[in-house]
Chains A and B, each alone.
Chain A
Amino acid sequence: MKTLLKYTLSLFLLASALTFTACSSDDSNPEADELANLTKFQEFANETHTIELYSHMGSLEQGYNEVALRIKDNATGDYVKNAEVNWMPLMHMTMMNHSCPKSAVEKVTTNGTLYEGYIVFQMAQNATEYWDLKVNYTINGTAYSATAVIDVPASTERRVNTFTGTDGTKYIVAYAEPHHPKVAVNDVVFGVWKMQDMMNFPVVDGYTVKIDPRMPSMGNHSSPNNVDATQVTAGGLYEGKLSLTMTGYWKINLQLLNAEGTVLKGEAITDTVLESSIFFELEF
């Protein structure tokens, strides 16, 4: 009985100690929280600053990538909190260079050190062709820039489609979220961009991405209660609902419809048409 009491007491003390430590870490170390769920995968420097690149997966790959960065002052070792940042990813192909869809780079929190945005690499690097990333930033009116080659391997599953629609426009449709799909109704986020020229890929507004998830290994069955992805706000990403009834390999067949409802690319799945020409792949 005495030992039991002792154990209970010590357990209680341990629990309260843990609670207090947890609280205090919240107060004193905001940087640690800022970097929660992020992993640094690269850093590069110019004479004055070092740029640190972060992502959820700790790497980049072909497709949609959320990328965060911090700018460290090489002299003081402090992180810069007041920079204006933009970026320019560039693919160096043998015959030409081109960029890709990308967002503006925004501060995550006013007092924090992180800047964040997305980049959609529509193609992967190969033996002779590579991506680099130029980060331009302005601190108190002074402009700086740093550039580095980045590693963009091919994704194991297809997460991005580049195609020419029936309207003659070249589009890029990419899968953004969720990172970890579940057997559930998943809130999915896609992006739709068009290629204006080699360097400009603006978001396309008002379209619809129809989704039809299928399991090719299991009779190509579908799932119920999917909701096609549409835009919540102009200039933003497309949100929909994706039902996955089991784990395994899913092919998310797509159709891209313009604002008038005309199919620009992709086919409806039937007994004879087993896959669409544009699709995403998920495996979990």
Chain B
Amino acid sequence: MKNISLLLLCSGFFSYAQETKDSLVPKDLKEVIVIGKKTQIHEKQSKSLATIDEFLDKGSKVDLVKRGAYAWEPLINSMATERTLITIDGMRIFGACTDKMDPITSYVEVSNLSEATVKSGQQGSCFGSTIGGAIDLKRSQNRFGDQQWDFALNTGFETNNRQKIVGSSVNYADSTYYLDTDVMFREADNYAAGNNREILYSQFRKLNFSGTAGFKFFTNKLLEASVIYDKATDVGYPALPMDVSLAEALITSLKYVVIPKSSLVKDWETKVYFNTITHRMDDTTRPSVPIHMDMPGWSKTFGMYSKATAVKNRHHFLANFNAFYNQSVAEMTMYPNDPNENLMFMYTWPDVRTLYTGLFAEDQWVFNCHSGLKLSVSAGSHTNDVASDFGLQSLQIFYPEMSRQKTRFLKSIAAHYNYHKGEWEYGLGLGYGERAPSVSEGYGFYLFNSSDRFDYVGNPNLSNEKSIETHAFIGFKKEKISTKISSSFFRISDYIIGTPDVSLVPMTIGASGVKLYTALSYATIFNVDWNSEIALSNSLKWNVGLLYSLGKDSNGNNLPLINPLSYKTALTFTKPKYNAAIECVGNTAQTRYGSVYGETNTADFALLNANFGYKWVVFSSKLYTKIGVENILDAYYTTYSDWNKVPRMGRNAFLNINFSL
């Protein structure tokens, strides 16, 4: 980030950034979840070697659907993968699993990243169309400078699931080159929920490697190549009827950055990228399955973007041209009990090719030192093409008139006004955005949802989903106190959701029926959150956070996966050499559950967590240890976002050690 961010650390559990370098710099409404690398901050995290999922869980706008201990699916403003946009340094990546077992956050590791930028609604449409918002996972980036080597060793252990974490990083930089590499390995057994109840099939193993090399070939030109390789094996999903034997990703990119000497254009960044994901579900470890099946999936994406920023008078411009081409294929092969019978084969994703090209433009118009207006527009063309004849003919069973190709035009426009004077700050905005149906929503073929127990069939005739949103916040900040309340409201028309078709017979053994993706006339989602921090003394801080969401469809039914009232409160004590925190987290009961969508109520829960960190500095090397206990009272609980109500982890003590040279 070019501007110095003042990170308001809310007890190290979540943080949001406000750029305050000088008052003529526009305000960006976003939340930055700091993950690592910025050493001091990293030390204040409650658990420095937490998974990305755990880091994201601490953000006030992000929640996660959990299907086990691994690969949680982020929700932004109570909206899941289809309605959000998750990028890694601006790169589009699509999971290869039809059952959402591999959100793209599962293919990166904390050691790869410096922060996650969460933007709400149309504020997040820079890299593509979204409804709920966007998360951009930013890779850690070295800087050119004096010749320097950095070595670091990370290791951790967690008692509950005997998770072992080992990692290291080697970084080099001089005035024309830099090279960052890191590797991290995690291995965990089954975890135990409260009262020591073992949750079978919750183990996982993950290896992640990343490398970045930069080369400055003029004073103002930079070329950077980057690769992430991630391989997870033997991953259990206790909430699902199957596990995963392999989830493998290779994410590569080449970036070219120019800092033009002109006074108008401030920087120009172009990136080409390619990523490939292989995902294999596995039911062979389960003791009894009605029928054994293989369900592999593949996703490959080529893409590019070219982004420039410019400043003219009081206008800060950003333009981004981006394009990607994705191939998504998933198969299902079922093995009949009679070995002489032919295998049963189908495409669950019929080799869908998606080509998107779009242009995003933004103007941050600073009126004066107190106020500014941010305007953004985007337009893109989105084409789906079913490349497999087999797959096309399969879908034509349901949609005889369906054609191979479908092109959509996606638009968005947003405005945000911000005012800041003295202790007070407020902002409000309006936005309109559209999205195309996801591959599953448009072209999925008998995708079993283990929560409502329906087989889902996609619908290529769906209209674009359209969202009108409004958001507002008001904040007050004095030396010892800061408080902010923000809310957002979305009215999403042609809201895509599965609707049962009683005339259809399910394919999956034991399924209750078949749902076709259809569009409700609209749905509304409302979120409000309040965060406060009070400095009780120079080293003692008290944080409180509340979040509440409501979601209704046009028939007045509750939507599924909507946050009930949830709260977090923490006391943090920070000294230069050590820090300590105690935290209480909980939800009230979810009584407004989406019963029409197969959801049931969720009881309330409350957890107590504590952690303590200490830093030793010996010459130039640093040893930082963090110990903590999560769920101290060993509560047996589940949340509204736990798939099939799989209970969460019971008491867990952890030890994280970071040694850097």
Contact = CB atoms under 8 A, between A and B. Distances in A.
Interface string B382-401: 00000000100110111010
A249 B337 CA distance: 12
Contacts of A244: 397
Contacts of A248: 334, 336, 341-345
A98 interface: no
Interface in A158-200: 182-185
B290 interface: yes
Contact of B507 (A183, A221, A225, A249): A221
Given A222-B505, A224-B398, A284 B342 contact: yes
A26 interface: no
Contact of B510 (A182, A219, A223): A219
Given A248-B345, A249-B341, A183 B290 contact: no
Nearest to A222: B505
Given A247-B342, A247-B346, A248-B345, A225 B334 contact: no
Nearest to A224: B504
Nearest to B446: A245
Q: At the interface, is chain B mostly helix, strand, loop or mixed?
A: loop
Interface string B442-461: 00011000000000000000
A183 B390 CA distance: 7
A105 interface: no
Interface residues of B, number: 30
Contacts of B650: none
A225 B345 contact: no
A94 interface: no
B338 interface: yes
Nearest to B391: A183
Interface string A261-284: 000000000000000000000011
A224 B394 CA distance: 11
Nearest to A217: B336
A150 to B, nearest CB: 29
A221 B506 contact: yes
A224 B393 contact: no
B209 to A, nearest CB: 38
B39 interface: no
B507 A217 contact: no
A219 B290 contact: yes
A65 interface: no
Nearest to B398: A224
Nearest to B345: A247
Interface in B477-515: 503-510
B182 to A, nearest CB: 44
A218 B291 contact: yes
A224 B505 CA distance: 8
6 contacts: A184-B393, A217-B341, A218-B344, A219-B507, A245-B507, A283-B341
- Sort A-B residue pairs by CB-CB distance and give the 9 closest, nearest first: A184-B393, A248-B344, A219-B509, A217-B336, A246-B346, A222-B505, A243-B397, A247-B345, A249-B341
Given A223-B397, A225-B397, 4 more contacts: A217-B336, A223-B505, A243-B397, A247-B342
